[in-house]
Amino acid sequence: MERIAYASVESIATQEPNDRNRLGYHVWRWLLNKQGSLEQAVNESGARLLIGVPEAVSNIREVLVKLGIAP
């Protein structure tokens, strides 16, 4: 599950690589607990995205679906 979470955020543009790691961690936590929404997980991560949150969520969802995880 952890690999899937981090793979789902690989294409997300962030200010620094650590921002992407933080985002991946929050997606992983969301996949494990299924508490709240994916949008909340992205916002809670505090990752400094170079794209909008809705676009990031859409990209993450798309990758999760391709990897067999239906969010």
pLDDT per position as a tens digit, 6-21: 999 999 999 999 999 9
Residue type, 50: L
| C-alpha span between 47 and 10 (Å, rounded) | 13
Q: Does any domain span residue 39?
A: yes
Does the predicted TM-score (pTM) go above 0.85? yes
Task: Tell me the torsion sign for CA atoms 19, 11, 62, 33.
Answer: negative
Amino acid at 34: K
The pair of three-digit structure tokens given for residue 19, joined into one six-digit string? 């921002």
Strands (E), 1-71: none
Domain that holds residue 19: 2-66
- Would you say residue 55 lies in a domain? yes
- 71 located within any domain: no
Q: How many domains does the chain have?
A: 1
Under a CB-based contact definition with an 8 Å cutoff, are residues 50 and 6 in contact?
A: no
Specify the pLDDT at position 3.
95
The reply to whether 52 falls in a domain is: yes
Q: Which residues of the chain carry a pLDDT beneath 70?
A: 70-71
